[in-house]
Amino acid sequence: MATIYVRNKTYHCDFQCRGRRYRLSLHTTSRREAQRRLKDLFQKVKAGRYAEAGEQNDVKLVLGPEPITCRDFFIQYLKIGEREKSSSTHLVDQYRLQAFLRWLVGKGILYLHDVTTQNIEAYLSDFARTRTRSTVNRELQLIKACFRRARQLGHIKEDPASALNKIKVPRKEMRTLARKEIEKLLRVCDDFWMPRIMGALHTGLRKGEYVNLQVLDVDFELNIMKVVNRSDSERTKNAEPRYLPIDHELRPFLHDLCKDKKSSDHVFSSRSGNRFDARALLTQVKALFKKAGIEGANFHTFRHTYISQLAMTGLDPLTLQELAGHKDIATTRRYLHFSPEHLKQAQNRLTFISGREKKN
C-alpha cells in the first residue's frame, strides 16, 4: 500500500514493491501532482526500470533532470535575456517576472514543473484587474517565452503556457498629423526645435533610434543615414541596422545639426549639446504639441505620419517595411489602407463598362 505525506512543505511517498520499501521525495507541493508522480514511480519500479541503488536514490532519477525552482529559472532566463535584449526591455522583464514569482510563492508553487496552465490563467486574471488588455497580452508573451525556453533547456517536459492565447484587442485608430497640424506645429518651433522636428517627420525614427543617431551615421555624399546598433543601450528595436535616404527637404536641416560636431556626437542633441534623454524628449515634444493646440499626439505620432505618408505615395510594401524597420510585414500592412482618400482613388480605377459611355 502506498502513502503520501508532507515533510517541509514537500510531498513524500512511502510504498513497498518487489520486496523492497521505498521512501522518497516527490519534489512537489501539489497533492494532485504528488499522486500523479507516485503512480508513475510505482509503475516504473514494478517494471524494474527504477535504479536499484539504495534508498538514497532520489526520485529525480526516474522523473528526469533535477527539479529547478521558479526563482532559480527566472534568474537564469533573465541572464540569457540580458545578452539578447536591450537594457530597458531587460529591466521591464525583471520587474514583471519578480511580480509573477511573488504570486507563485504566495500560492505555494515553488518548482517550475509544478506550474500549470490553470495557474498561469489565474495569475493573468488577477493581473488583468488593473491593466489593459494590451498589457495583459505583453505579460502573457513574456510568460510564454519563459516557459518555451525552459522546455528547450529540458527543465520541463510540457509547456503549460503553450495552450494560452492572447486576448483580442480592438485596434485603435492610428494617430497621424494632417498637413495643417504640421504647419501649426512648425510655427511654434524655434531655431532649436525646427531641425529636430523636421528630422523626426522625415525619418520616422523611434525615440531610441532618434536620440542615439550619431554624426558618423550620416553620409551626405550618398545622401543616406544608417540606423545601427552600437551597444546594449543603443540598439534598434529589432537589433538590425537599416538605411534611410536623406531627402532634399531634410538635407539642409540635417547639415546644420551635424555642422561643427565630432563624428561621435549625437545628431539630435539636447540644448546642452549632449545626448537627448528619451524621457525629456517625450515631455518637451508633448509641450510643443500643447503649445500648437494639437491634441492626442506624441513623439511616436511622427513615425505614424512618416510611414502613412510613404504608403499613400504607392510605395511597394517590402520597401515600406524596410524603411520603417518592421520585422513583420503584418505591421507594415496596417499602413497600406490608411488614408480614406487613398482608398477612394484606388476604387475609382475600377472599370467594368469598357468601351461604353458611363452614366451618372
**303 in active site:** yes
**243 in active site:** no
| CA pair distance 214, 228, nearest whole angstrom | 10
**335 in active site:** yes
Catalytic one among 37, 155, 266, 326? 326
Would you tell me the crossing angle of helices 278-292 and 179-187 to the nearest 10 degrees? 100
Catalytic one among 27, 196, 207, 303? 303
Coarse DSSP helix, strand, coil percentages of the chain, rounded to the nearest 5 percent: 50, 10, 40
**248 in active site:** no
* Sign, CA torsion 41/46/49/53: positive
Kindly state the helix (H) or strand (E) to which residue 54 belongs, with its residue range.
none
The residues that bridge with 23 in the sheet, in sequence order, are 14
Placement of cell 532634399 in the chain = 248
Catalytic one among 111, 210, 306, 335? 335
Catalytic one among 300, 333, 334, 342? 300
Neighbours of 87 (CB within 10 A): 13
| CA pair distance 319, 309, nearest whole angstrom | 14
| CA pair distance 195, 291, nearest whole angstrom | 18
| CA pair distance 197, 291, nearest whole angstrom | 14
Residue 230 amino acid letter: R
Whether the CB-CB separation of 267 and 218 falls below 8 Å is answered with yes
**300 in active site:** yes
Catalytic one among 202, 206, 207, 266? 206
Catalytic one among 237, 251, 261, 333? 237
Residues acting as catalytic residues: 206, 237, 300, 303, 326, 335
